[in-house]
A and B are shown apart, each in its own frame.
Chain A
Amino acid sequence: MNAGELGEVSREMSGAVDPDAGPTIEVLACGRDAAAVWDRATAGARDEHERDCLHCAAAIADARKLDAVVHRMATEPVQPPPSVMDRVMGAVLAELRPHDVLELDSPHGPALLSRPAAAAVLRHVVDGMDGMRARSCRIEQLGPATGDASRAGPVTVAMTVTARFGVDLASVTARVRQMIIAAGAQALGVAVRRVDIEVVDVFESGLDRGGPR
């Protein structure tokens, strides 16, 4: 399509409305503007002609009927279709279910453990150790063990800790590692394949109680 054709089309389209007629107004058979009649009737300010004219009266009656229908529909409580709940809940469940849980090994069906809950248990165990305070604890689950897809995979744990000033970091972190592996097996029931411990701070023994968390 070239520029000439476009010009032709636009001229034709603008020709559909007569530019000299101005905005077209639907007048009633008696010559009054229906919109003006409705406005005056709503305001209760009908003039002599509008009170007597059949056409004006019919226009006002139509407007009242329409008004009544619109008001009735507006006050009706909105009734959502029954599928709305299903769709919303489906979306919510899809969003939540696979989220932030560890799989537990079970022959009886899906068994899941909240990841924040598991991390809280591991932090609690480390907090109970002398000279150690847990800070963050991140748990990642690896894919299922080789061969059997139904078995839950082992996890890796990355924990940041603070140590009391003066403790032997090498031995105490080794102890943290053992404690986490043991707690994984005994308290959670997951196999801990790898433990990364990062000592991010030390604290004075005087600040021990309450701890600089």
Chain B
Amino acid sequence: MLKEYLPEKINAILPPSVLEIRLRRRKPISFLTKKGKSFANHIVTDAEFEEALALATERSLYAITEKLVNGYLPLKGGVRVGVAGESVSDGNRVKTVKNITSLVYRIPHQIFGASDFLQIDGNFRENVLIISPPACGKTTFLRDLSRRLSIAGMNVAVLDERGEIGGVVQSEVTLDLGNNADVLVGFPKSIAYENALRSLNPDYIVTDELSGESDVKGVLRAYYGGVKVAATLHGSGESAFYGDFAPLAKVFDRIIVLGKEPRVGSVVQNIVR
């Protein structure tokens, strides 16, 4: 799936089982695999970078401007491309991003059984929060958790704002979320919670990367509405409940902290509250 978004020369040097690719203008390509980070002996030319950008935007900048402003481009199959460049602002509003200098491709993968230790069955009723610094496997863990909840027979509403959890491609959920998952792709969180609560009758709401006021409000709305929540949050432990996130401290029954040692996705803490 990823190959159709990369220039031929770059495809030719992709290592197997790559987890992340970083293309930086006129710099060597860097890869992240299970073995760790490495640099290829290939400098990304301006032409290659432009081609990669055109492929990632499907030569349709207008279709992804809103996402670009939020710093990423969603590709088919749940691949997400982080974008670094220069903002074009109109007052307080970022209109678009120009002079793009870096593209970071994050390739989703599935680790079946990552959440098995939670022993999820039809009676599981915990609000679960997964916390970790970036690139420690939060989304992978959340995906497996969603699948387990779905297999256990619960209606799972997946708020997949960035299209990473389900990897939806033209109306098909390409990553395994079981048979009881309803995936809302690309909805802003403020709308997604309302839509899910009002029209999907969920037992669980699953959402990735809690990041602002709309998430806090949405999670609280679900919590007080009797719907369970499984979510992820950037942080390194319970200290993540600061500032805007303080009201969420009471919501979660279980906090799972992930880390990179001894390997990416290792459960560092499993706090039952």
- B and A form one assembly: no
Task: Identify the B interface with A (CB < 8 A).
Answer: none
Task: Identify the A interface with B (CB < 8 A).
Answer: none
